[in-house]
Structures are given as C-alpha cells and as structure tokens.
Chain A
Amino acid sequence: MSVLALKADKRRPHGPSRVQQFLPLFPPSLILLLFFAIPMGMMVGLSFQQSDASGLTLASYERFFSDQFTLMGMARTVVMSGLVAICVTIMAYPVAYFLARSKSRWRALVFALAIAPELAGVVLRTYGWLIILENQGFINNALIWLGVIAEPLPLAKNMFGVVVGLTHVILPFGILSLLTSLQGVDPNLEKSAQILGASRASVIRHIVVPLTVPGIVSSMLLAFTMSASAYATPAILGGAGFKVLATMIYEQVLFYIDWSFAAVMANVLLVMMLIVALIGTRLEARLHQKLHT
C-alpha cells in the first residue's frame, strides 16, 4: 500500500506522471515475469536442446512423434478428453435447464448440489470414485453379492474410471457454462411455441437446443481442455496402465529426469490446448453470427 500512498502525496496539477501511474503494477508484473514468462520461454528453448549436443535441434520432437509410447499417450489424451466433453455436456444440460427455468424452492438446493463439490477438491472426489469403482469397491461388491457377476468388473485403473472421475470433476463448470447460455434464451419463445401446439419434445429439439448451440460448444471445449490438462484424476484412477500426456510429463521430470523430453511433451500439450481454444473461439464467433442474423 505504500506505493499508493507515495502516488497520492505527490499530486500534480496535471495528474500523476506516467511512471507513477504504472508504479503499482511493478510487483505483480515482476512476479509474473520471473515465475511465469521467463520459465515458459526457457521451457520452450529447452525443448530444442539436447544435453549431449550444442545448438538447436529438433531431436526431441522427432523422438516424440516417432515413439509408439508417447503417441499412444497423446491419442489416449484426445480420446479421453473427447469422451469427457460429451459426457459432461449431456449430463450438465438437464441440470442447467432446470436451474435456468425453475422458480421452485428446490432451485437453491440443486444449485448448491451442483456447485458444492468444487469445494471438496479433486483428491476427495477422485478417492471417492476409487472406493466405488475398484475391484473390491462398492459396485463390484454389490454386483457379486447380488450374483450378477462372478469376477469383479474392471471399472478403475482404465479409461472408464478416468472418464467417470473427470466427468464428475468438470461437471460443475459445464453446468455453469450451459446455464449462462440457457438464461440467454427467452422463455417466452418456448411458451409461445407450446401455445401454438408444439409438443415438449419439439420445443426442446427445434427451439432450446438450436439456440444454445454456442453454449454447448463452449461447454464441450471447456471440458476438453480441462480434461486434457488434468493430472490428479488420471494419476489416481488411471493407474500404471492408463498414461496420458499429463502423467507422462510428470514421470519424465521426476523419474527419468529428461528435461528436454518433458519440455517437448509440455509444449505439445500446450499447442494442443491453444489449437482447441482457437478453433473454439472461431466456432463460437461464427455460431453467434449465425444466430443473430
């Protein structure tokens, strides 16, 4: 706060000087520069270097794109994130629709239920799914007790478990993003369609869903980017058998201590995110244009 005080004391008739005006920006910018901008630049540089050679080289990138193991990791990341994007959006839609239209006293409760898990942190929720899905877990024990199955179903330590866990983690964000979109749709449109004799199903199909396509797209993109960069859920629910880029990066840094290769993986993940975000903003802009003309 001393910076602000200093600024105020030296008031001048023509307002504070340029330098003084920018002075409070100095501490936050310095921290961002030192612990974000410079490390990011360094990481990008490191990905073009090899410990045993001087100068810049694409060797680590070549290794990434020719290695079966890393390519599989990348493919898993994409498939997993795509599935989570679809599951989140489908599951979030009814909740968001209820929250956007309901005036009942249950609304506050549903809202709290939908958002509260976010406070619990990823570890608690992922641990909960592990107890539910593992071989001696809730579901398998129940099914065996009921005599439906003899052997436990493989529900955890694979793609299925990770998708379930990530869907749970990301669902609140999907609900919020669809909610904003649904609140933008005039409820009178639905009412007038119903008065004119449209069934509930056709109102949803021909009015609600088409008008919320931008919201659906943004919810899917959000879910995709969030799951592609998630670490904890794949690490806990995926186990050794299901490696995605995020968990592979961690291993490169802490077990194999191959910084250059870790930097390459991180860059690939980052570029993947940026491409998805770019496609997303383009698509959203185009959809907006289409809806408003």
Chain B
Amino acid sequence: MNQVVSALFWVSLVLVLTFITLPLVVVMAASLSPTAVVTLRPWEWTVQWYGDLWTARWLDPFMLSAQLALIVSIASGVLGLLAAYVVAYEKCPGHAAIMSFLLSPLAVPQIVKGVAIVLFLSSAGLYNWLGTPGLIAAHIILTLPFAVRMIATAMFNFDKNLDRAGQSLGASKMDRIRYLLLPIIKPGVFSGMTFAFIISFNNIPLSVFLVRPGETTLPITVINYIEYSLDPVLAAVNVASLLFVLGVIFIFEKIGGFSAQIHGGSK
C-alpha cells in the first residue's frame, strides 16, 4: 500500500514537471525546425530563423521594449527607494496606511488598470501620451508596488544599531545613508529593479491599450503576428527574448548581488 502511494507520488511529480517544461522545450525545438512542423530530430535543425530576426520588424519592437523596461526599472528603483525610505526606515506617522496606498495598484487587475489609464488619457485630451510616455507611466504603476515592497523589506531588516554606531562616531545623516543604509539594502533594490525589468519587458495587458503603430512592444508584436501565422520565426523571437531576459538578470545580479538574498532568504 505504501509503495503504491509512493509510486503515485513520484509519477505525479514527474508528470507535473513534464507539463511545466513541455511548452518551453517545444518552442525551442520549433525555433530550430526547418519548417512549421516541429521536429525533434536534432540533425535536421537549423538556425536560419534566428537570422531572420535582424530586420526592422523585430528589432524595432525589441529596442522599444528593452528601453522601456530599462527606464521603468530605474524609475521604479528610485521611486521605490524614496517611498521605502520614508515608510520603512523613518517609519513616518501613518506608515502602515501609506504603505497600503503604495501597494494598492496590486489589488486591481492589470487589464482594469490599462483601461483606466487609456480612458483617462483619452478623455483628458492627452492623445500625445498614448504610445511611449503612456507605456512608461502605466508600467511604472504596475512595477512600483513590487519595488516598494522588496526595498521596504530590505530596509525593515536593516539593523538600526549600525546606524546608531555610525552616529556615535560622528557620521552625518547623509553619510549614514550613503555608506551604511544603501550598501546594505543594495541587493533588495536590485531585486526590485530586476523584477520591474522582467515584468515590464514581458507585459501584455497594459501595453495592449497603449501601443501605437510604429511604437509597439515586442510581446504585442508577437501576439499580433500569431493571429496571421505560426511560422518558426515566432519561436525564434520568443527564445531570443528569453535569452535576453536571462542575460539582463545575470548582469543585474553581477551589479546588485541579490541571489544571496533569495537563497539565504529572510522570512
């Protein structure tokens, strides 16, 4: 009986893990297959579809998405730092209420936030904002709560005794922020920024309302293309952008060193 339960457990574990990896493997195989029919025979594979990516059709949206994600990640980092400083470090009066205000966008589905922003810009006559400026604003609304939460957690964990030690040794407040607080919370700031970058780069539900012809992000370009054709170049785009995201995470990790935080994980 126990063996049966154990066997069932292992079988279900393997099945679920197969389910998780299947679409990723299929997309990779599709990106290397010579025709739209996915082949799992590696000797037939070709990288020709990756060569097709070097055209304006894919490069322009990629550049827009990458720039957008970079701006959004930096803005979320700076704004999140400012907000977290007041709420989590200074613990201003009413910090709990302010924190829930800062996190409130999380309670609203993305698609609803998207509609609200596009209706607001249109009825306020801010048509120029549709396109890149609107995308930046909308993505910041989406990513800021995550950044605030991650940076605030890092600040909550900051040992105030260090601050007192610095103070007793005569360090000014600015010095203590610069040489004590910021270096210690750096991993938290960078994990928030990395998160913001990934969310912005992959976003669909907000971007879909704000893109314009000539100013379309990569995921939206891919979705629009899927409606017409399923040729392997799409798979190549997807794999390439996944590799790009992994590269960005690697770079952010090198600068910010947040993996220690994730593995060491405070609760």
Query: Which of B85, B109, B201 is in CB contact (< 8 Å) with A24?
Result: B85
Q: Report yes or no: B38 in contact with A138, Cβ–Cβ below 8 A.
A: yes
Q: Report yes or no: B24 in contact with A117, Cβ–Cβ below 8 A.
A: yes
Which residues in A have their C-beta under 8 angstroms from that of B239?
Answer: 124
Q: Assuming A119-B242, A131-B38, is B115 touching A21 (CB within 8 A)?
A: no
Which residues in A have their C-beta under 8 angstroms from that of B150?
Answer: none
Q: Assuming A110-B17, A231-B111, is B202 touching A35 (CB within 8 A)?
A: no
Give the number of A-B contacts (CB < 8 Å).
248
Q: Report yes or no: B109 in contact with A270, Cβ–Cβ below 8 A.
A: yes
Number of interface residues of A (CB under 8 A): 82
Say yes or no: is B55 at the interface (Cβ < 8 Å to chain A): no
Q: Assuming A28-B83, A43-B120, is B238 touching A132 (CB within 8 A)?
A: no
Q: Report yes or no: A123 in contact with B222, Cβ–Cβ below 8 A.
A: yes
Say yes or no: is B219 at the interface (Cβ < 8 Å to chain A): yes
Which residues in A have their C-beta under 8 angstroms from that of B162?
Answer: none
Q: Report yes or no: A31 in contact with B2, Cβ–Cβ below 8 A.
A: no
Q: Assuming A131-B26, A266-B115, is B141 touching A32 (CB within 8 A)?
A: yes
Say yes or no: is B205 at the interface (Cβ < 8 Å to chain A): yes
Give per-residue flags for A83-104: 1 if the beta carbon is below 8 A from chain B beta carbons, else 0.
0000000011011011000000
Say yes or no: is A78 at the interface (Cβ < 8 Å to chain B): no
In the complex, what residue of chain A is closest to B14 when comparing beta carbons? Answer: A94
Which residues in A have their C-beta under 8 angstroms from that of B226?
Answer: 127, 130, 236
Which residues in B have their C-beta under 8 angstroms from that of A269?
Answer: 109, 111-112
Say yes or no: is A200 at the interface (Cβ < 8 Å to chain B): yes
- Alpha-carbon distance A32/B12, docked complex (angstroms): 44
In the complex, what residue of chain B is closest to A272 when comparing beta carbons? Answer: B109
Say yes or no: is A263 at the interface (Cβ < 8 Å to chain B): yes
Say yes or no: is A204 at the interface (Cβ < 8 Å to chain B): yes
Say yes or no: is B21 at the interface (Cβ < 8 Å to chain A): yes
Which residues in A have their C-beta under 8 angstroms from that of B2?
Answer: 199-201
Query: Which of A171, A250, A273 is in CB contact (< 8 Å) with B109?
Result: A273
Say yes or no: is B20 at the interface (Cβ < 8 Å to chain A): yes
- Alpha-carbon distance A70/B44, docked complex (angstroms): 48
Say yes or no: is A291 at the interface (Cβ < 8 Å to chain B): no
Query: Which of B23, B85, B174 is in CB contact (< 8 Å) with A128?
Result: B23
Which residues in B have their C-beta under 8 angstroms from that of A129?
Answer: 23
Query: Which of A114, A127, A249 is in CB contact (< 8 Å) with B111?
Result: A249
Given contacts A25-B92, A91-B19, 5 further A-B contacts (CB under 8 A): A9-B174, A24-B85, A31-B137, A95-B13, A263-B115
On A, residues with C-beta under 8 Å from B are 1, 3-5, 7-9, 11, 18, 21-22, 24-25, 27-29, 31-32, 34-36, 38-40, 42-43, 46, 91-92, 94-95, 97-98, 110, 113-114, 117, 119-125, 127-132, 134, 136, 138, 141, 168, 171, 199-201, 204, 225, 228-232, 235-236, 246, 249-250, 253-254, 259, 262-263, 266, 269-270, 273-274, 277
Residue pairs across A and B with Cβ atoms less than 8 A apart, 13 shown, are A3-B82, A28-B80, A39-B116, A40-B113, A97-B9, A113-B21, A119-B246, A138-B26, A138-B38, A171-B20, A228-B109, A246-B205, A259-B119
